[in-house]
Structure 1
Amino acid sequence: MNFQDEMKKKFLQVAAGGVEPAEWENWWNSNRDQLEKILNRGTIKRIMPVWWSADYYWMTKTQSGIASYFHAQGRPVKISDYYEKKAEEETLRQRQKVLADFDKKIAPERLQWEKYLEDHPVEPVEFDWKSLMGTPSGQKPPQVFSYVSVRGEEQWKETREELQLRLKENVQAKIAPLAKAYGMKKAGPKTFVKEKNGLVCRLKFIGYFRGGGYEAMQYYICPIYAIDTGILGLPGHICQGENYQKMHRDWGVIQYGMTAVNAAEVEKINRKFDEILTFLAGDIFPEWQRIDSLEAYFAKERQEYLKAAETGPTDPRTGRAMWDLSDMERRHPWRADDYLFGVWDLLSGREEEGYKRLAECVEYGTDFMESCLKERPEAYNDPRDSMAVLYYNAGRFVDTKQIADKEERRRKISEIYEEICRFMRYYHGLAKRTAR
């Protein structure tokens, strides 16, 4: 057997997943000179990229390069998924180790927050959410379509209606019971909200702007008086951890509706909602449950914990941070952070700090409000115009600074707070339309 035949035999073994990374590395290095004579530079780079190392992830690249080589020879080969599966297992182990190390790193801040929670206990929610996974109860049998890719208005309409039905089935069977268990009420067919001790929790599936399914999922916890900005949300390893990443992979299956929603697609939709359910029930809702008051929300221990966890560890596969929420710690472009903390300062009796923050927020929004109110005098009553709502609210609090008598000023601050909360309940979907 000449070397070229030996090479092709080895290539076929790799295509079949029959060569381990270390064995392949040894064979390649032992025969490098002959390989470089036979193969062109492009093929070599595809089979053995510059950063290649002896693991299963890089074996998938080698396998892909070998498949391209045979295809160029007019001899397509079928490749095994062995390396791909092993690479997934390998990556999972590496990430678990990195996350375990990260957990040790942030342990001091996490333990301080846990200590705070021990001193301010909250009853956990006991709910068997895993029983909701799989095929939704009462789901209609999948339809049979005569096409796969959608063509024309009639097929588009038919597919869109079928997709929306499957989404509705999953929301009703999986998300609604979970939300109810955590005390949330429906504020629409795909929105759930809850008020507790001055805080609001909100979950909403956002429709794709071109029709079809869901473009995204909005979820937040914040004071009722505030708008959602992501400031003081949840730790990065919770809100953007492994369950989040898994949930967001292949999100398009519940978004676009560009293919017939046949039995296979219905199963994909069901699995995607299992991932959404796992993310919400395993990560988000339990953490929301522990934050049961404004005092807990603004607790120094929680803020330090969030700060410690804002930037994740380096992903062993991509070389980038697994998550990065550091932008949340910088000044908000609307100065919404000044409003959020300024109001809390006022409510907590720190008037000097509170008025300073709120005045900066109002000053920053002056030009916007002048322009906005000329065109839409009632913009501050429209939940769709968050900036107008924000600056108007901040201005209402700033106005109380002119009251000289301290007791009267404190009374007025409380009055304005209640007035703003009444409107913001409407803003967050907790109450029906409220004007002011």
Structure 2
Amino acid sequence: MKLAVVGGGSTYTPELIDGFARLRDTLPIEELVLVDPAADRLELVGGLARRIFAKQGHPGRIVTTSDVDAGVADADAVLLQLRVGGQAARNQDETWPLECGCVGQETTGAGGLAKALRTVPVVLDIAERVRRTNPNAWIIDFTNPVGIVTRALLQAGHKAVGLCNVAIGFQRKFAKLLDVSPGEVHLDHVGLNHLTWETGVRLGGPEGVDILPKLLAEHGDAVAEDLRMPRAIVDRLGVVPSYYLRYYYQHDAVVEELRTKPSRAAEVAEMEKQLLAMYGDPELDEKPELLAKRGGAFYSEAAVDLAASLLGNGGSPYQVVNTVNNGTLPFLPDDAVIEVQAAVDGSGARPLPVPQLDPLYAGLIANVTAYEDLALRAAVHGGRERVFKALLAHPLVGQYAYAEQLTDSLVAHNREHLAWA
């Protein structure tokens, strides 16, 4: 089995490598190709990756290359973890929206749109290269904004599934609070990427007893603290919102908070310098503890599980993924991409049925889906007017004057990445 990781020079890649090494019986990789245009980073990451495999006794071969076509050739699956523009572009996404009192964040709001505009054309180009060399390969997208990127891939006819670590993070945390194994916890997870709610927590699978009320009654303080939200919000909802819902439920407070501290991008950039220095140590043969602060917890385990299921090598029968709606949420278009529990196997991901949603959640999902549709049009076709309409539609923007100002700022800060600008 051959896997390729595009964006393999990321400082986060050793977390993925560690998962591949530990879970080699689930996903028996014979060749792993790390693809990245940054040759200096790639060499450091690739060296550590080989040492991790060697220490854990993994027999697989690790190859590094800056040639996308060569890297994805004959791959059974291609994982995408790109950051077009690097942490510098992310820092801009997290700062200029604050100038007009809007959230600065890399996956939602104006910053999220900027990332989508930079990313979608690059991802579609890579996917076409994969299709030319191996049309049967699965594309697993971890590149944010996952929902928009996955929808772009699916609309272009690619075999793609999107993946996020929010659900597996909740699963692991709830399992710890309940003192059970993670495999026993099944989430009723519903929404869009970075706009989801856990409406049920079941033990033993989709038909298990919902213990969410018990979980919140006994561990509500711990859950709310993890979300960085007041417990009153969680208690009144009676569900567990993703921590990304802070940007909606506490927008103005979050804006003030973001204005008073360095951006997350600045923190990560400094962390990456330290990590790359560590990776250059020829004695290092395991992922350093610092990497846990980089973000993306449990991604490696989710990625292994998904790849194993798609490639017919086992894997969990049900997984939370980003896939096509196809009537699952009847108030959305069939071709919308939703993030829900799905049955996953070699034929792809099929969403499990979702009970009728409360309008409190369905309304916001519908609104953000409309924004994502406009954002994808802007990313694929370009044009200032399309960018403006996407921003005007976003519930974190929504005002004419803000949309005008943010459109100008977005174009000015991303001109080098926008072919039409």
TM (normalized to structure 2)? 0.22
Higher-RCO chain (CA-CA 8 Å, sequence separation at least 6): 2
Choose 1 or 2 for highest CA Rg.
Answer: 1
Larger relative helix fraction: 1
